[in-house]
Structures are given as C-alpha cells and as structure tokens.
A and B are shown apart, each in its own frame.
Chain A
Amino acid sequence: MKLAALALLLCAAMALSLMVGFRHLTPEDYLAALTAFDPYDPAHVTLISIRLPRLLAGLIAGSALGVAGSVMQALTRNPLADPGLLGINAGAAFALILGTTLVGTTGAGALALMAFPGAALASVAVFTLGGGLRGDAGPVRLTLAGAALNALLLSLVAGVALVRQDALDVFRFWVAGSLTQADARPLAAMALAAGLGMALALALALKLEAMSLGATLARGLGTRPGQAQAGALVAVTLTTGAAVAVAGPIAFLGLMVPPLARRIAGHRLRGELVAAAMLGAAVLLLADTAGRLILAPGEVRAGIMVALVGGPVFIWIARRLRPGAVA
C-alpha cells in the first residue's frame, strides 16, 4: 500500500519533469515531437533533447543512489553511511581531473566515461585496503579505508585544480551534480550498469541481512561474509559509478533516502531497496524540476537542490538515532 503510494509519487515526479520548465509546451507539441521530430523547432528540442534525457538521467542516478545508500548502510551497519564513503565520488573526481589535465578539455560525454572507471578503481582500492582480499573486511575497516582514500584523492584533486585553470573549470561545474548535461551523457550504458548493480543488490539482500547479525552468526546461517561483502561492493560501485557518470556527485541523496525507505517498506532489505530506488528517483526528479523554476531563467543545479533538502533531513535522522539501533 505504502509502496503503491510511492510509485504514484514517482509517476507524478516523472510527469512534472516532462511538463514543467521555462518553455511552455502544448499537448500538440508533445504529440508532434514524438511523431514528427523537427530538430529546428525549439519546443521539440526542449522535449526530446532536454526534458526526456533529464528524466532518464534522474531515474538512473536517483534510483541508483537510493539503492547504493541502502546497501552501504546495511553493509556497514551504519545509518549515516553514504555511497561516497567508499571513495567512489572522490575516485570519479580524481579520474575526471586527471583526464582533463592529461588529455585536455573534452566534452561532457567523454568526462562521464572517465568518471565511471575512476569510481570503480577507487572502490576496489578501498576493498583491498580494508582487508577484503583476506576476507575479513569488517564494517569499521572498510569505513576507515574509505575515509583515508577519500581524503587522499580529494587533496590530489584540489592540488591539480589549484594549478590547472582548465581542470578547475571543468571540475567546479561537474562537482555540484546536475542533470543539465544529461543529453551528452552515456545514458544507455549507465542504465545498464545501474540496473545490473540494483539486481545484484536485490539478489544479495538476504545475505546482507544475515550479516547484520555479525559475521560469526552470518557464517552459522550459511553466508560467506567475504563473498557477500565483495558482491555488495560491486553493487554499490555499479550503481554509484553510473549515478556519478550521468549526474556528477549528488550529495545527501544516498544518505537520506534509505532511512525514509525503511519507514515506508519496513525492515526488510528487499522491500527497502525497492522503496529506496523509487524514492531516490522521485526526490532527484523533483529537485531537478524545482531547480528549473526557482531562479528562472537560470537554473539551480539538482545537486544543490538535493543538498538544500538533504541537510535538514540529515539533521533529523541524526537526532532520531539511538545508539545501537538502525534508523
């Protein structure tokens, strides 16, 4: 019932994202743009090249970050865990700034393709540093390794950005997180990556729940913690990497969606994952749509809108935390 309401919310967010914007589109515009697309008609271009790609990017990045956040919080047993905790955003940022510096400035599409491998490499590094290869990467080890790599990569990013103006230019636009360049991003490939990651997360949900009882008990229940952990990290990497590639780093979304999803779906990880995917996508789409209106004709980036909402939600979550309980 609650999930149905959430699905309705997502549908409403999707519809708004197609309908609301600076340019007013008539019903005829929608029909004509879909049946007889004219690349010289601003109304058609608005729908096909701006609003539709933004909708798809919002769906991919929002649902991916919601799922990634839920997996991270289950894996680390920490209600304040964020997909960025594993250094994935920092890895993407580093790959991006290295790419811009070495190759020179390239288009938004090429930048997105650099972000994904950067994200993947960073999470492999965190897993290795955290002792994952020996099979004993506990939540604390992983968090510490992630924090260390984050700090290292972000200081390298800052170092390059300080001396290279062109890299800084690219970086400061990318870092806020936005759906405005959705049209230039590899949406199909990233939808596939995010979809694989989400499917993997669903498949691992029971094992992750068993692991929340502690590694020893989980082993007794027939789970191999090392394997489940590695699988969960692959899921987080695929989803977060895809999100970063289509929208840049969107702060707070992976942090605030899972606790809300738990309230809606209850404490079953599978249900939570489905709810988190829908809620994440709905929040990001609504944030993007609101960002088009607030300072029209200029736009507020979706990443900033999410952070504006996410800040207060984060405080609310932190205040409701009880030691030992999962929010």
Chain B
Amino acid sequence: MAPTTRSARLSRRAFLTAAAALAAPRLIAGSGLRFDGPFGETWLPAPARRVVSLGYTSQDPLLALGIVPLAIRNWYGDQPSATWRWARPLLQGATPPVITGEVSMERVAALAPDLIVGIGAGLSEPEVQLLTRIAPVLMQGADQPAFGSAWQDDTRRIGRATGREARAENAIADVEARFAAARARHPEWKGMTAAAAWHEGGQTGAFMGGDNRARFLSELGFRPTEALTRIAARDGFYTTLSPEDLSPLDADLVVWISAYESAPDMVRLPMRRTLAAHRTGREVFAGELIAGALSFGSVLSLPFALDALEADIAAATDGDPATVVSSAQSAGLTE
C-alpha cells in the first residue's frame, strides 16, 4: 500500500506544480507578449510605442507599420537618419538620431524606449542582457540566422511587438502579391538561371543562397546556375571567384551589384566581356540605391527594388540582344 500512497501524494504534488506552472505564464501572457530569441525569451508587458531600432535594417519594418523609431542604427550609405529613399516618406518629417558603430548603452537609455529592436543587429548575449535592463530587446526567432532572417518573420514579429499584427500581415501580403504578379507577368522567368554578381577591389564574386540579393532573384522565379549551386553548398551565401574564370556567373540573367552609381572597374573588366550574358545583352546594373534596396531586403525596400528592376530584367531576358537594358547601358556595361 505504501507505494500507492506515495505515488498518490507525488501525483498530487505534481498536479499542483503543473497547475502553478501553467497558471503563471497564462497570467503573464494575458497581460503581455512573449517572443523567443537566440538568448532566451523576451517579455513585453504591453505593445511598444517608444522603439529604438538597433538592427541594421529594422527601421524599415518599423516605419512600414507607422512607427518612427527614437533612434536608428546606421548600416552604410550616409543616408539622413540612416533611412533610405524607399522608407524616407514614412519618417513623416521626423529626423531620428543615428547610432553609428558600437551601440552606446547610455544613449539608448537616455531615449527611454519601451522596446529595443535587435533583429539583425549582431548583438552579443552580454549586450542583450545589458540592453534588457533598459527595455525588452526583440531579437530574431531562435531558429533564424543572426543576419538574413526572413523579412516576413521580421515584419510579423515587429508587428506583434507593437500591437499592429493586422497591419503587418497586410504589408506582407501586399509585397508577396506584388512578387506573385511579377511572376505572373513573366512566366518565362521560371526556370531561367540568374546570378547576383559583384566586382570590387579587383575581385569578382556572387551572392548566393539565402542572401537577400540572391533571394530577390529566386522570388521572381529564377534559379542559380549549376556552378553557383555547387559553390553555395561549400561557401554559403557569398563567394569570390578566380579572376581567370567567371563562367559560374554566366547565367540567363546577370545582375551586377555595386555600392556605387558608377563602376568603372566593372565596366572595363576584360573577363566580363567573355561572358555570353554580356555579348547577348543579358546584364542588369544595380547601383548604390537599387543595390541598397536589394541588400536591405525589407518589406519596404523589396517592392522598391522590384519597381526599379522589373523592366530592366524583362529587357535583359527577352531573348533579343538588341533590346536596351537601360541600367546596364547608363552604367556603361554594354559598351
């Protein structure tokens, strides 16, 4: 009999513990929001209003949901308020200060935020712990990479943290519909190969796999060249090619990504001229602004990039070498 009594007592205790454990989070969940993250859970007592954007690109989803951040982290490009052209009207005339380089905890604390967005900010665990003492820190999902989490996930998380889920879902659906419409307008893109190529400091390479620039092309229906697929399996989402062999780039569409509006080194690169894509007018040029939009890969920048590039990509892939691809021509790539 004794074992039974003991187990009964145990189970009663277990039941009570379990009940308590279940009740506690429900109590909190009822009055707040929970998010998983790479360094543990984040808990918000209520949807946030005063937000500091520490992610290199998280200002975009915030602005898309109508929230002007108290301060914005600078990635690159020397833009006013670190906000690029596609997002600037959404600042509604505000000029939030820019946080450049390492994050100053004192500056963040002085802004008295009720949420710090650290998605894609490259924050370390000690930094997050320190920031959490200022305000809850919203990180990317525990299963997402530190950089390059899916833009849909970023937007959705920020939407939930700011109590604007419906607006976030609408924005996501809108961008996805735009890509679907582009795919529908150009069914020929499905199955074509494409490469997002770069050339800098005498070196040439490609963005691949989960990189925002490569993802943009795959969202339009393109697939990478076989050589790039093989390289991506080894190198991840970025590779440098031998200057003596650029053939992995020789796809049905080559989008040259440049941090600058003019790219004289890319233009004069002799090996580029050996690519069939060059000879048959299948190159597109993405300069500072459009390359920036592709690199941000956000709910705001992606439709901007699509609007800017769709006509050029169509001209490059129409099978007629004589069709002018305006971006490639003005950059001098067609010479």
Contacts and interface: CB of A to CB of B under 8 A. Distances in A.
B200 interface: yes
B41 interface: no
Nearest to B78: A165
B201 A174 contact: yes
Contacts of A35: none
Given A165-B77, A174-B201, A107 B245 contact: no
Contacts of A297: 240-242, 245
Contacts of B80: none
Given A173-B201, A173-B202, A49 B271 contact: yes
A170 B244 CA distance: 22
B260 A166 contact: yes
A186 to B, nearest CB: 13
A174 B77 CA distance: 20
A78 interface: no
A50 B239 CA distance: 20
A22 B203 CA distance: 14
A173 B200 contact: yes
B247 interface: yes
A109 B264 CA distance: 9
A166 B271 contact: no
A296 B239 CA distance: 11
Interface string B173-206: 0000000000000000000000000001111000
A298 B273 contact: no
A106 interface: yes
A109 to B, nearest CB: 8
A50 B243 contact: yes
Most B Cβ at <10 Å: residue of A42, A181, A183 = A42
A169 B259 contact: yes
A107 B264 contact: yes
Q: How large is the interface on A (under 10, 10 to 19, 20 to 34, 35 or more residues)?
A: 35 or more
B271 A50 contact: yes
Contacts of A22: 242, 244-245
A105 interface: yes
A45 B201 CA distance: 19
A298 B264 contact: no
Contacts of B273: 39-40, 45
B279 interface: yes
A110 B260 CA distance: 16
B3 interface: no
Contacts of A109: 264
Most B Cβ at <10 Å: residue of A23, A39, A297 = A297
B310 interface: no
Interface in B265-298: 265, 268, 270-271, 273-274, 279
14 contacts: A22-B244, A22-B245, A23-B242, A42-B245, A42-B274, A46-B244, A49-B271, A50-B244, A50-B270, A107-B265, A180-B243, A297-B240, A297-B241, A297-B245
Interface string A30-52: 00000000011110011011110
A166 B155 CA distance: 30
Interface string B25-36: 000000000000
Contacts of A299: 203, 240, 242-243
Contacts of A165: 76-78
Given A45-B271, A49-B270, A184 B242 contact: no
Contact of A107 (B78, B203, B242, B268): B268
Nearest to B260: A105
A48 B265 CA distance: 17
A169 B265 contact: no
A75 B188 CA distance: 70
Interface in A104-157: 105-110
Nearest to A292: B242
Contact of B202 (A110, A172, A180): A180
A178 B202 contact: yes
A231 interface: no
Contacts of A169: 200-201, 259
Contact of A40 (B202, B265, B279): B279
B287 to A, nearest CB: 11
Contacts of B262: 105
Contact of B265 (A39, A108, A172, A174): A108
Most A Cβ at <10 Å: residue of B76, B78, B201, B245 = B201
Contacts of B279: 40
Nearest to B259: A169
A41 B279 CA distance: 12
A37 B201 CA distance: 26
Contacts of A173: 200-203
Interface string B59-96: 00000000000000000111000000000000000000
A180 B203 contact: yes
The 7 closest A-B pairs by CB, nearest first: A173-B201, A107-B264, A22-B242, A180-B202, A49-B270, A297-B242, A181-B202
A226 interface: no
A99 interface: no
Contact of A296 (B242, B264, B268): B242
A165 B240 CA distance: 21
A271 interface: no
A195 interface: no
A165 B79 CA distance: 12
B53 to A, nearest CB: 19
A23 B76 contact: no
A184 B268 contact: yes
A299 B271 CA distance: 16
A89 B108 CA distance: 41
